[in-house]
A and B are shown apart, each in its own frame.
Chain A
Amino acid sequence: MPKMFSSKRILLSHDWKWIIHSLGNLILDQFHSLEDMGTLEQIDAPQTQSSSSSSSSIDSNNHPSRTPPPSSPSSSACRNRTDLSTDLRLGLCISPSSQSELPFHSTPREESFNWPPIKSILRSTLVGKQSHLGQRPSLFVKVYMEGIPIGRKLNLMAHYSYDGLVKTLGHMFRTTILCPNSQPLNSGIFHVLTYEDQEGDWMLVGDVPWEMFLNSVKRLKITRADRC
């Protein structure tokens, strides 16, 4: 039995449970995704090599498939080859506003891995600390799934990594949320997780370190993977 989400979960009243149950059946009928929940990867928050006990992989993005952040416009042409492969893996449409054309000095969205430069042991101590203190702040955000008008609310502070978040949402919405690097194994309909940031843009979840995500997320949306 997969582990259900943490004890911070809101207890639903009976009426709500009935509504969600009905909606859940609706989703099942339409998408037939339940049997595949165990076989697909979730968004894989990259692991550190440290044996620290923290469940969150804050030293994110030391992943071999990451591309370097945008460099100056004159050299952006050289980067196109690697950019393309990442974009393809993400299953994204390659639009004119792709990242290789961002000027180097704008707010880079990918300039985040292993930044700020603090030692992993300090990082993991601090994140571990948040879970031990009673006065941990909560951050409830709205979560909608495409096609369903009634949303849910989720406490992001109850999670420490993308991994936990995706698992929880997968259970909440009875679907499978893909990680950027995986290919769907069959032709079922799958979802990806997106969020609205402070600037009003909708972004794919998983690119920036967890803490940076927490700082910028306003709400979440689960959208169909084939709609980019």
Chain B
Amino acid sequence: MNYFPDEVIEHIFDYVLSHRDRNALSLVCKSWYRIERCTRQRVFIGNCYSITPERLIQRFPGLKSLTLKGKPHFADFSLVPYGWGGFVSPWIEALAKSRVGLEELRLKRMVVSDESLELLSRSFTHFKSLVLVSCEGFTTDGLAAIAANCRFLRELDLQENEVEDHKGQWLSCFPDSCTSLVSLNFACLKGEVSLGALERLVARSPNLKSLKLNRSVPLDALQRIMMRAPQLADLGIGSFAHDPESEAYIKLKNTILKCKSITSLSGFLEAAPHCLEAIYPICSNLTSLNMSYAAGIQGSDLIKLIRHCVKLQRLWIMDCIGDKGLSVVAMTCKDLQELRVFPSVHLGNPAAVTEEGLVAISKGCPKLHSLLYFCHQMTNAGLIEVAKNCPNFIRFRLCILDATKPDPDTMQPLDEGFGAIVQSCRRLRRLSLSGQLTDQVFLYIGMYAEKLEMLSIAFAGESDKGMVYVLNGCKKLRKLEIRDCPFGNMALLTDVGKYETMRSLWMSSCEVTVGACKLLAKKMPRLNVEIFNENEQEDCSLEDGQKVEKMYLYRTLAGKRKDAPEYVWTL
């Protein structure tokens, strides 16, 4: 291959798209490294503190698309205190100063300020796509800047962010000349938007394929928007509650009949049960349905809806559908690949879902590969059967609401059930455990889960051995997050080199002490070992014997970070 001119190699590299493959290419030899770095357009940084922006820009001058992740995953469940970090501004500032022609920025769990958004909007003339997932720190003023200044914007996708509403008309800031929008998602915004501006924007965006509205958009506006955008493929409905006799509702029903290209439906942020009938005509085209925010809908209405959705591949739903409802899903949705069942916080909802529903799904949907399942109970027999029926799991996340509940039939821990899952599903990359679990389950995981990359453990295990089994066994492990388990110093220090092969380790409410963390930090200079000290007494120094409440460590080439708040001690 070295006898080919660079241009040929570049051409070949154009076909290599995945980050891992490109990373592998760059390791072959110096000239491949050089060619690869100059032609690389998309970069994924799983931990924004693992490298400095300057170093990234230096290596990849042709960068067009950057994905950054900030806070640890458990930040989603409020385990990471406010102000921890994940600020995007150094990145945007560095990119703005450089000659990088950034076109796409995707951020997850980062803190984004309005100033950063403004700078972003002004610095890159060909900026096309902004995707913010679970971010915070910005307001609708920042969005106004993006709308106003990014002349070729194609995608503005806001997923589950905390956005402060400043009542400015950010949607009106899209200039009349902006006709390039392909995807617009503002479902997470709490405030009102200018409906007129929204309708005009939709009318002048012939390429708009994905539109997700927030709850302030009423039914009649939805109807007008759908009239103007019959080409929509992905629709997020905001408000969907209306008097079924009203003219607006009848008009909407007729309009929906024309929207044959919709294959993905979500939202229903405000929904009344009877209104779901309006969607039945398009259900048979749907491949993706997200009802996880539709709290007002009873199980029986969900079941009626699902019966129409024969082509469904992805379903996110509340547990009020019940085990019976999941049987209906199993009978109807033979192509189902991804299922998420979320817990409803309703009172007086007796059974919700159990192992019965999951077993039914596994029997009916052999293509299932991704699962997130919140349930009231699980049995070993159930898990064993699921493992037998669905050997193709890539992601298997089970959350029993009573976190240490054993198998209710046998009163045994769920070790055997999860053991069956890891033994059967050889392609498993992500696993979350719950229920009563001893060290045995970790022995199984270490033995069988060869492809496992991410493991989430809570309230499980009996001793350090559990964690050691995992660290020794799972060669591909990248992210390990543990809370409320009896794993301590012996486990933490058993293989310190392992952590450099991983992206990060989170341990909270375990048995690890300050002394052990200090020792680890000393032995491994290329790890940042952070301890969160949230006590009110700030003057207390950390004694070695003190138990660590929260620890987060990650490999890094950037050294100790300078933006850590007071309660974070980097050892």
A106-153, CB < 8 A from B: 107-108, 111, 114-123, 125-127, 129-130, 132-133, 137, 139
| Complex: A49 Cα to B534 Cα, angstroms | 15
Q: Is the CB of B511 within 8 A of A71?
A: yes
A214 contacts the other chain (Cβ, under 8 Å)? yes
The stretch that binds B, out of A3-11, A32-40, A61-69, A194-202, is A61-69
Q: Is the CB of B459 within 8 A of A126?
A: no
Residues of B within 8 A of A14 (CB): none
Residues of B within 8 A of A117 (CB): 74, 76-77, 399, 458
- Which residue of chain A has the shortest Cβ distance to B483 in the bound complex? A114
Q: Is the CB of B77 within 8 A of A111?
A: no
Q: Is the CB of A211 within 8 A of B347?
A: yes
* Interface size, B (range): 35 or more
| Complex: A105 Cα to B414 Cα, angstroms | 12
Q: Is the CB of A114 within 8 A of B78?
A: yes
B190 contacts the other chain (Cβ, under 8 Å)? yes
The stretch that binds B, out of A50-58, A90-98, A163-171, is A50-58
Residues of B within 8 A of A118 (CB): 77, 342-343, 374
| Complex: A134 Cα to B110 Cα, angstroms | 37
Residues of B within 8 A of A59 (CB): 77-78
| Complex: A116 Cα to B483 Cα, angstroms | 12
B269 contacts the other chain (Cβ, under 8 Å)? yes
| Complex: A19 Cα to B436 Cα, angstroms | 51
Q: Is the CB of B296 within 8 A of A157?
A: no
Q: Is the CB of B295 within 8 A of A125?
A: yes
Closest CB of chain B to A79's CB: distance in Å? 8
Closest CB of chain A to B266's CB: distance in Å? 13
Of A74, A116, A215, which contacts B374 at CB under 8 A? Answer: A116
Q: Is the CB of B348 within 8 A of A120?
A: no
Q: Most chain-A CB neighbours within 10 Å: which of B190, B292, B345, B462?
A: B345
A223 contacts the other chain (Cβ, under 8 Å)? no
Q: Is the CB of B77 within 8 A of A129?
A: no
Q: Is the CB of A115 within 8 A of B403?
A: yes
Of B74, B270, B346, which contacts A130 at CB under 8 A? Answer: B346
Q: Is the CB of A62 within 8 A of B486?
A: no
B542 contacts the other chain (Cβ, under 8 Å)? no
- Which residue of chain A has the shortest Cβ distance to B188 in the bound complex? A121
Of A72, A75, A111, A157, which contacts B347 at CB under 8 A? Answer: A157
- Which residue of chain B has the shortest Cβ distance to A139 in the bound complex? B347
Residues of A within 8 A of B79 (CB): 62, 114
Q: Is the CB of A111 within 8 A of B511?
A: no
| Complex: A228 Cα to B295 Cα, angstroms | 39
User: A204-223 interface mask toward B, CB cutoff 8 Å, 1 = contact, 0 = none?
Assistant: 00000001001100000000
B293 contacts the other chain (Cβ, under 8 Å)? yes
Residues of A within 8 A of B295 (CB): 125-126, 129-130, 133
Q: Most chain-A CB neighbours within 10 Å: which of B77, B436, B459, B547?
A: B77
User: B119-161 interface mask toward A, CB cutoff 8 Å, 1 = contact, 0 = none?
Assistant: 0000000000000001010000000000000000000000010
| Complex: A226 Cα to B338 Cα, angstroms | 54
- Which residue of chain A has the shortest Cβ distance to B296 in the bound complex? A133
B162 contacts the other chain (Cβ, under 8 Å)? yes
* Interface size, A (range): 35 or more
**Contact A125/B269 with A51-B164, A119-B77 known, Cβ cut-off 8 Å:** yes
- Which residue of chain B has the shortest Cβ distance to A69 in the bound complex? B484
**Contact A115/B342 with A121-B162, A129-B295 known, Cβ cut-off 8 Å:** no
| Complex: A52 Cα to B453 Cα, angstroms | 33
A48 contacts the other chain (Cβ, under 8 Å)? yes
| Complex: A130 Cα to B270 Cα, angstroms | 11
B246 contacts the other chain (Cβ, under 8 Å)? no
Q: Which DSSP category, helix, strand, loop or mixed, fits chain A's interface?
A: loop
A26 contacts the other chain (Cβ, under 8 Å)? no
- Which residue of chain A has the shortest Cβ distance to B456 in the bound complex? A117
Closest CB of chain B to A9's CB: distance in Å? 19
Closest CB of chain B to A158's CB: distance in Å? 12
Closest CB of chain A to B169's CB: distance in Å? 20
Closest CB of chain B to A53's CB: distance in Å? 6
| Complex: A214 Cα to B349 Cα, angstroms | 12
Residues of A within 8 A of B404 (CB): 104-105, 107-108, 111
Q: Is the CB of A137 within 8 A of B511?
A: no
A28 contacts the other chain (Cβ, under 8 Å)? no
Residues of B within 8 A of A49 (CB): 78, 82
**Contact A119/B535 with A105-B406, A108-B404, A129-B296 known, Cβ cut-off 8 Å:** no
Residues of A within 8 A of B486 (CB): 71-72, 74-75, 104
Q: Is the CB of B162 within 8 A of A50?
A: yes
B470-497, CB < 8 A from A: 484, 486, 488
- Which residue of chain B has the shortest Cβ distance to A110 in the bound complex? B484
A78 contacts the other chain (Cβ, under 8 Å)? yes
B402 contacts the other chain (Cβ, under 8 Å)? yes
Closest CB of chain A to B482's CB: distance in Å? 12
- Which residue of chain A has the shortest Cβ distance to B437 in the bound complex? A105
Q: Is the CB of A137 within 8 A of B190?
A: no
Q: Is the CB of A123 within 8 A of B462?
A: no
- Which residue of chain A has the shortest Cβ distance to B536 in the bound complex? A64
Residues of A within 8 A of B74 (CB): 117
Of A51, A69, A120, which contacts B78 at CB under 8 A? Answer: A120
Residues of A within 8 A of B160 (CB): 119, 121-122
- Jot down 30 A-B pairs with beta carbons below 8 A, ordered by A: A52-B162, A53-B190, A62-B78, A68-B549, A69-B509, A71-B484, A78-B547, A79-B547, A105-B404, A107-B402, A111-B404, A111-B484, A114-B78, A116-B343, A118-B77, A118-B342, A120-B77, A121-B160, A122-B292, A123-B345, A126-B293, A126-B295, A129-B296, A130-B295, A132-B270, A133-B295, A137-B346, A137-B348, A211-B345, A215-B347
Going nearest first, the 6 A-B pairs with the smallest beta carbon separation are: A68-B509, A129-B295, A49-B82, A64-B534, A59-B78, A117-B77
Residues of A within 8 A of B (CB): 48-53, 58-59, 62, 64, 68-69, 71-72, 74-75, 78-79, 82, 104-105, 107-108, 111, 114-123, 125-127, 129-130, 132-133, 137, 139, 157, 211, 214-215
Q: List 20 other contacts, CB 8 Å, given A49-B82, A59-B77.
A: A50-B136, A62-B78, A69-B509, A72-B486, A78-B547, A82-B547, A105-B404, A107-B402, A108-B403, A114-B77, A117-B77, A120-B78, A121-B162, A122-B342, A125-B293, A130-B346, A133-B296, A139-B347, A211-B345, A211-B347
